[in-house]
Amino acid sequence: PNGVNLVHPILPELVGRNLHDLQDRNGDYVIRNLLRLAGEGGGFHRYVWNKPSTGQDEDKLSYVVQLKRWPWMMGTGLYIDDIAKEVAKARKQVQRNVRNTFFTVLVVVAGTIVLVVLIGVAINVHEVRKADSRLQELAHKSVQFQVSERRRFARELHDGINQMMVSVLYRIEAAVSKLKQQGSAAEEDLERGHRTLKEAINEVRHISHDLRPSLLDDMGLKVAVNSLLMDFSERTGIDAELEYEITGARLPEDIEITFYRVLQEALANVERHSGADRVLVSGWHRDGVAWIEIRDNGRGFDTRRRLQGPGIGVCNMRERVELLSGICQIDSEPGRGTSVKVGLRPMFFSENCECDNG
């Protein structure tokens, strides 16, 4: 331990030199202190040393031990600025890893939240659709119940009250015939009663037909619509034509009665307001939706004004169609006629799967 340098991997010019009295710029006897630490069993020592890579004096931290078999000291060291750079590099890497991990966690959390929200929305949409489907089914059942009650009431009128009134009419006619033979003064009163009773019978028949057209029950929509158009033409002188392409199974009765009532209302509007001389009624089935259209060649109107008014007929048509979640489109322009188009999607078909071809 006399301070002679035996080996140096970076500065070979120091090999063989005695560095025992070497001092750094701070007056520290570097080799002496290192030899002392090695003799004490080894340790760290910080000093200033020339850094070969830069040629500048830098702080250095060395660790030395003494080789027991020889009176030699062996040591190694690191420059403090290199340690600082490595620590800074490691710190940046840690920060980068933390940041990447944070973003990864953030993306995972955001994805999870989005997934939960989408699942929630999907469940809500499903529930809304189920509720809407149940509401539509309830509306259909409500309309069918109304149809059933109207049919029952119409039959009661026709088979009960109407038959009783007809029976009374026959008795009055028989009494009038007998009084004519006898020349009674009661003949005139009976004639008046006879006329009033006939009017009442016709009114009951008219009410019964309006409540539920028997042709619609017995023959289907096509025949009922055709009969309605024939009566309309005879009464008004307006040419009415039918193009009916709904074939296959009969539509549910709530759909049929809705189409029939809309057609009645539309024809009434044509008669009262349009000034038309021709009406075309079309029926077809496309993409699961049954459609019917009433088109006339009348004077037409401005839909932006008229449809905002309190027209009872238009309101009735729309309410009937909306009750079954259908589509009601009214297109018209002044001088170009009017088109009323209604689309209804049958929820199910009636058990009577006979073709409605009339």
Give the confidence band of 115 by pLDDT, cuts at 50, 70, 90: very high
Write the pLDDT tens digit of every residue in 279-326.
Answer: 999 999 888 899 999 999 988 888 777 655 545 567 778 888 888 888
State the CB neighbour count (10 A cutoff) for residue 2.
Answer: 9
* Euclidean distance between CA atoms 315 and 47, whole angstroms: 101
* Euclidean distance between CA atoms 195 and 253, whole angstroms: 37
Residue 341 in contact with residue 291, Cβ under 8 Å? yes
User: Strands 239-244, 278-286: parallel, antiparallel or unpaired by DSSP?
Assistant: parallel
CATH, range 215-358 = 3.30.565.10
Q: Which residues of 238-274 are buried (b: 16+ CB within 10 A; e: fewer)?
A: bebebebebeeebbbbbbbbbbbbbbbbbbebbbebb
- Whether 12-70 shares its CATH topology with 215-358 is answered no
How many angstroms from the chain centroid is the CA of residue 271? 41
Six token digits for residue 358: 């009339």
* Euclidean distance between CA atoms 214 and 206, whole angstroms: 11
User: How many H-runs (helices) and E-runs (strands) does the chain carry?
Assistant: 9, 8
* Euclidean distance between CA atoms 281 and 290, whole angstroms: 14
Whether pTM > 0.75 for this model: the answer is: no
Residue 24 in contact with residue 48, Cβ under 8 Å? yes
Fold of 12-70: Beta-Lactamase (3.30.450)
Write the pLDDT tens digit of every residue in 170-213.
Answer: 777 777 677 666 666 566 666 776 777 777 777 766 666 666 67
* Euclidean distance between CA atoms 317 and 129, whole angstroms: 25
Residue 294 has a pLDDT of 93
The residue ranges of every structural domain in the chain are: 12-70, 91-212, 215-358
